[in-house]
Amino acid sequence: MPFKKNTLAMAVGSALLAASMAAGAASTADLEKRLMQLEAELAALRQELKATQAAEPAQTQQVQSLENRVTAVEAPVKTLEDRVAKVETMATPPKIPGNMIFFRGGYTGLADDRAFGAVTDVYGLGNDNSGDSGWNVGAGFDFLLSHDVWKLMPGTWVLAELGVEFSHIDSAETVLPVPTAECALATGNVGPALGNCLITGTNNLTMLTVSAAPKIKFMEDSRLRPWLIPIGLDFRVISPTSDTTSYLDVGGQVAGGAEYEIIPGIKLGADARYHFAADFTNPDYSDATVAAIRGLGLQVQEPSNDYWTIGGYLGIGF
């Protein structure tokens, strides 16, 4: 009996060993099959990588070739643009906007009339030439100096105004000194007989003023632009001459106004000015001279050459 038990045990053990070996064989085959699949995939990836690496130099070379062609085209284009810009600069000089020529006119008023002068009405011997108002016409240029008061006030311009103005004062028919004196000398009608040589006519009172002044113009972006002249320089010619036969004077002016641009480059404006003079034409009579003139029944005064104007103007920009 012991022999049979051992034989049975050995048979069972052999069966289990055989089954285990069969299962191990099946598992190894699956693993080997999976390993072969992974190796095949890896080989395919390596081939794809090699193909990509082989294509990159060709693509890089093509990009570099295109860049070289673009650079070759850009160089002559830049040269041509520079030449065109240089020719345009030489052909068309830079234009400065803001310059203007203007024509103005208006009313003139004297601070003092010129009556009772030796040359204006012979000290009032006949009718006195006492007009103190009249009219004026003038013209001038504005030259732009700065768009922003030299970086101090953006939008505010500084211009140089050069102008000339003629004024005519309402004049009277009065005794003319030169022909009256010529008559008296030629005929001997002097003293009480001078009345026989009183030659009368219109003795026109006129002035010519040449000026230079800085002009400050505000509100750059507006069509309506106010402006002012803080101080300007005047050169004055008066006619007839003063009692000293002087006719030249110097002085200054202050002014203010505004203009409106009705269409581009065309402006209508209004201004008011006060002109003051140094009065170098003033005879500066002595008290004795004044007393002697008045002792003859005549009058005398020493007027100032100050005057003022108000009017309008037409401006044309260039």
List all residues 6 or more positions away from 166 whose beta carbon is below 8 Å from its beta carbon: 136, 137, 138, 206, 207, 208
Strands 100-110 and 266-277: unpaired
Check residue 5 and report its DSSP letter. Answer: H
Place of tokens 């105004």: 161
Phi, then psi, of 133 in degrees rounded to 5: -145, 160
Confidence tier at 77 by pLDDT (50, 70, 90): low
Residue in 302, 300, 301 with CA at minimum distance from that of residue 281: 302
Characterise 84 by phi-psi region: left (phi > 0), alpha (psi -120 to 50), beta (else). alpha
CA 182 to mean position of chain CA atoms: 57
Q: What is the pLDDT of residue 26?
A: 58
List pLDDT tens digits, range 180-196: 888 877 787 666 667 77
pLDDT(3) > 50: no
List pLDDT tens digits, range 86-108: 766 665 544 557 999 999 999 99
Q: What is the pLDDT of residue 24?
A: 56
For residues 274 and 308, what is the distance between their CA atoms, to the nearest angstrom?
4
Calculate ∠ Cα 228-170-206, nearest 5°.
65
pLDDT(25) > 90: no
Confidence tier at 17 by pLDDT (50, 70, 90): low
pLDDT(222) > 90: yes
Q: Look up residue 273 and give its amino acid.
A: R
CATH class of 100-317: mainly beta
Strands 200-202 and 205-217: unpaired
Instruction: Decide: helix, strand or coil at residue 131.
Output: coil
Higher pLDDT, 155 or 95: 155
pLDDT(159) > 70: yes
List pLDDT tens digits, range 110-139: 999 999 998 999 998 888 999 999 999 999
Higher pLDDT, 66 or 1: 66
Quick count: other Cβ atoms within 10 Å of Cβ 132?
A: 17
Looking at the DSSP bridge assignments, the partners of residue 255 are 229, 273
Domain ranges for the chain: 1-94, 100-317
Check residue 151 and report its DSSP letter. Answer: T
